[in-house]
Amino acid sequence: MSKIVFATGNPNKISEVNDLLAGHFEVLGLTDIGCPLDLPETSPTIPENALQKARYVYENYSVDCFSEDTGLEIEALGGEPGVFSARYAGEGKNAEDNMNLVLRKMEGETNRKARFYTVIALILDGKEHLFEGIAEGTIRNERSGTAGFGYDPIFQPDGFGVTFAELTKAEKNAISHRGKAVRKLIDFLASLNN
Ligand code: IMP
């Protein structure tokens, strides 16, 4: 089976993506190639952040790799937290603090529309490829559920009466931003082998 490096230090992302890529590719992590887990992500947009992380690994370790960057975009907050999703409430990158800040800013707001936006950046033989995935939904008034990670307890995907944090990993992967982007990545990689 072909090997590919997933350039992320986030164990939750590795867990979701490993499930999706199982049987297609053997996924290596940053520790497998001796790369520090905290990759630079200082770019102004999600696609550029994804590319920045993949380029860092490709340039320093000369391996085919992909990275991903995700943001929660809330319509009533003008797209916030967006590219600042990880450190919305501060450099501590604390999910509870981030959710509290979102819930506070959304107090009394009737437009609850939001979406998760993921971009995967793949670098293969030096060539860059981008794959997007979007999950539309709404921001709940309070947390619900304990599965998943990040903003999952306050995000209700459209067409569901529960939050991402009330779905199993398989159920979330089937409809999520990351699941959609990873399936595009798999289709692309599979098309190269035909
Ligand atoms: P990054 O892509 O690692 O920079 O993550 C951005 C922020 O969005 C972090 O706070 C993550 O916890 C959060 N995040 C990323 N993916 C998801 C998801 O699938 N569900 C909920 N929160 C997420």
Q: Give the residue, out of 85, 99, 169, with the most ligand 1 atoms within 8 A of its beta carbon, to mutate for a pocket test.
A: 85
178 close to ligand 1 (CB < 6 Angstrom): yes
109 has pLDDT over 90: yes
Residue nearest to atom 11 of ligand 1 (CA): 150
151 close to ligand 1 (CB < 6 Angstrom): yes
Q: Evaluate whether 70 touches 82 at the Cβ level (below 8 Å).
A: no
- Give residues with Cβ within 8 angstroms of 47, minimum separation 6: 69, 119, 121, 130
172 close to ligand 1 (CB < 6 Angstrom): no
In this structure, CATH architecture of domain 2-192: Alpha-Beta Complex (3.90)
Ligand 1 midpoint to CA 95 (Å): 9
Tell me the pairing of strands 127-139 and 155-157.
Answer: antiparallel
10 close to ligand 1 (CB < 6 Angstrom): yes
Q: Where are the domains of the chain?
A: 2-192
Q: Which atom of ligand 1 is nearest to the CA of 68?
A: 2
Query: What is the per-residue pLDDT for 191?
Result: 86
Question: Which long-range contacts (C-beta less than 8 Å, at least 24 apart) are formed by 102-110?
Answer: 102/72, 102/74, 102/77, 102/139, 102/151, 102/154, 103/139, 103/141, 103/142, 103/154, 105/77, 105/80, 106/74, 106/76, 106/77, 106/139, 106/141, 109/76
Ligand 1 midpoint to CA 70 (Å): 5
Q: What is this structure's pTM?
A: 0.94
Work out the pLDDT band at 194, boundaries 50, 70, 90: low
Query: Which has the minimum average pLDDT: 15-19, 130-134, 153-157?
Result: 15-19
Work out the pLDDT band at 162, boundaries 50, 70, 90: very high
User: Could you read off the pLDDT of 170-192 as tens digits, one per residue?
Assistant: 999 999 999 999 999 989 988 88
- Classify 109 as helix, strand or coil: coil
Q: Evaluate whether 103 touches 77 at the Cβ level (below 8 Å).
A: no
Q: How far apart are CA 57 and CA 8, in angstroms?
A: 10
User: Could you read off the pLDDT of 62-90 as tens digits, one per residue?
Assistant: 999 999 999 999 999 999 999 999 999 99
Query: What is the per-residue pLDDT for 14?
Result: 85
Task: Taking residues 23-27, report their average pLDDT.
Answer: 80
Residue nearest to atom 13 of ligand 1 (CA): 150
Work out the pLDDT band at 193, boundaries 50, 70, 90: low
Q: Evaluate whether 17 touches 64 at the Cβ level (below 8 Å).
A: no
Considering the chain, what is the average pLDDT of its residues?
Answer: 93
Task: Taking residues 33-39, report their average pLDDT.
Answer: 89
